[in-house]
């Protein structure tokens, strides 16, 4: 690559202490859990990983990946870097946490990984054909999200593809996630010269969401006094639960039932009913005109785009 090597991570973000702790505690032994739900059992995280991969494969189907220069932003343990490399892309994965990068390098021979924040991508302008960030930008505070969006747009070539995958359920905020409604994500990238090609909903999980809502309601009713605000690096609620032996066992039948149910939800429910949105953008050229493409424009009818 035609640039100077970076000796340190720049662009420190508010939740860096949390991710550094998670990387140090989980990345080596449980790479998928470290980027999904730390401390949860493998069968729990495999469910989410399975449907995330279905969404990525569906959204990027037909994209010219072989030979493409690809950037995996917030690569974590490198699962999407490996996915891109397996399809012939020349991949660079970036993550600000040393523990994640160590695991990514161990699991991904032949892929380049560098310490770098999504908000401070140290690459030349218009350097990549495809930029991908899966469940990454949702973990940045709103001002940080804007900086990350601008950084990704800057390094993407005209006509290139940006694929982002983030939380859209405004009723599901938390200490480590900052959702936006679909139209807000689209506007964020649209203001940077990125034309929305299509978007889909992902992760409907009605049984799990109903159970989570009941548990939150019960917790609020049984709490005599509000708890002290947790520190930035403190474990999430689900992580605290997972540290108790067998705590996830009652969820096993719910997860098994959720596999066929999720397939039905993907087919029949509107995209806006999902927890996450998968957004595919294309960067306009310097004149603001998109290069020729066989992809049909976004249709606002049900949020699925391309007339789906």
Assess whether pLDDT exceeds 50 at residue 10: yes
**Beta carbons of 64 and 160 less than 8 angstroms apart:** no
* 90-95 and 69-73 beta bridge pairing: parallel
The owner of tokens 């002290």 is 228
* Secondary structure of residue 198 in the 3-state scheme: strand
Q: Which domains does the chain have, with CATH numbers?
A: 16-203+239-248+276-282 (3.40.50.150)
* Half-sphere exposure at residue 269, Cβ-oriented, CA atoms within 13 angstroms: 17
**Beta carbons of 153 and 258 less than 8 angstroms apart:** no
In sequence order, the β-bridge partners of residue 71 are: 92, 131
DSSP class of residue 72 equals E
| Sign, CA torsion 167/171/177/183 | positive
* Secondary structure of residue 225 in the 3-state scheme: coil
**Beta carbons of 225 and 306 less than 8 angstroms apart:** no
The DSSP element (H or E) to which 235 belongs, if any, is none
Question: Inter-axis angle of helices 252-268 and 206-222, to 10 degrees?
Answer: 120
Q: Give tens-digit pLDDT for 95-141.
A: 999 999 999 999 999 999 999 999 999 999 999 999 999 999 999 99
pLDDT of residue 297: 37
* Secondary structure of residue 194 in the 3-state scheme: strand
**Beta carbons of 107 and 77 less than 8 angstroms apart:** yes
Q: What is the mean pLDDT of the chain?
A: 86
Residues found in the chain? 308
Mean pLDDT in residue range 253-260:
97
Q: What is the CA radius of gyration of the chain?
A: 19
- Give CA–CA dist 21/111, Å, rounded: 24
Helices (H) and strands (E) in the chain, counts: 10, 7
**Beta carbons of 73 and 53 less than 8 angstroms apart:** no
Q: What angle do CA 2, 190, 83 make, to 5 degrees?
A: 50
**Beta carbons of 119 and 133 less than 8 angstroms apart:** no
What is the phi/psi pair of residue 167, to 5°? -70, 130
**What global pTM score does this model have?**
0.87
Residue 223 pLDDT level (bands cut at 50, 70, 90)? low
% of the chain with per-residue pLDDT over 90? 71
- Give CA–CA dist 298/308, Å, rounded: 9
pLDDT of residue 35: 93
Q: Give tens-digit pLDDT for 279-306.
A: 999 998 753 444 443 333 333 334 443 3
Those residues whose C-beta lies under 8 Å from the C-beta of residue 245, and which sit 6 or more positions away, are none
pLDDT of residue 307: 32
Assess whether pLDDT exceeds 70 at residue 205: yes
Residue 57 pLDDT level (bands cut at 50, 70, 90)? very high
Is 172 exposed, middle or buried (CB count within 10 Å of its CB: 0-12, 13-18, 19+)?
Answer: middle
What is the phi/psi pair of residue 61, to 5°? -60, 130
């Amino acid at each position: 690559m035609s640039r100077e090597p970076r000796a340190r991570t720049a662009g420190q973000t508010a939740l860096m202490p949390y991710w550094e702790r998670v990387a140090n505690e989980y990345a080596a032994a449980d790479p998928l859990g470290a980027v999904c739900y730390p401390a949860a059992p493998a069968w729990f995280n495999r469910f989410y990983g399975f449907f995330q991969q279905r969404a990525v494969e569906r959204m990027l189907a037909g994209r010219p990946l072989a030979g493409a220069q690809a950037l995996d932003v917030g690569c974590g343990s490198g699962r999407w870097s490996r996915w891109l490399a397996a399809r012939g892309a020349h991949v660079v994965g970036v993550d600000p946490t040393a523990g994640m990068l160590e695991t990514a390098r161990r699991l991904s021979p032949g892929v380049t990984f560098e310490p770098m924040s999504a908000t401070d991508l140290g690459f030349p302008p218009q350097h990549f054909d495809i930029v991908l960030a899966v469940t990454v930008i949702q973990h940045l505070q709103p001002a940080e999200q804007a900086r990350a969006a601008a950084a990704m747009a800057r390094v993407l070539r005209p006509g290139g593809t940006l694929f982002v995958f983030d939380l859209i359920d405004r009723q599901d905020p938390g200490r480590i996630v900052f959702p936006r409604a679909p139209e807000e994500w689209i506007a964020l990238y649209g203001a940077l010269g990125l034309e929305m090609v299509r978007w889909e909903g992902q992760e409907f999980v009605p049984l799990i969401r109903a159970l989570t809502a009941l548990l939150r309601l019960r917790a609020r009713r049984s709490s005599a006094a509000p708890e002290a605000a947790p520190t930035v690096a403190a474990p999430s609620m689900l992580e605290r639960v997972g540290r108790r032996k067998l705590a996830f066992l009652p969820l096993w039948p719910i997860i098994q039932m959720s596999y066929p149910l999720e397939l039905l939800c993907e087919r029949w429910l509107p995209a806006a009913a999902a927890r996450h949105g998968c957004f595919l953008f294309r960067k306009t050229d310097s004149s603001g005109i998109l290069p020729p493409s066989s992809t049909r424009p976004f249709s606002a009818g049900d949020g699925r785009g391309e007339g789906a």
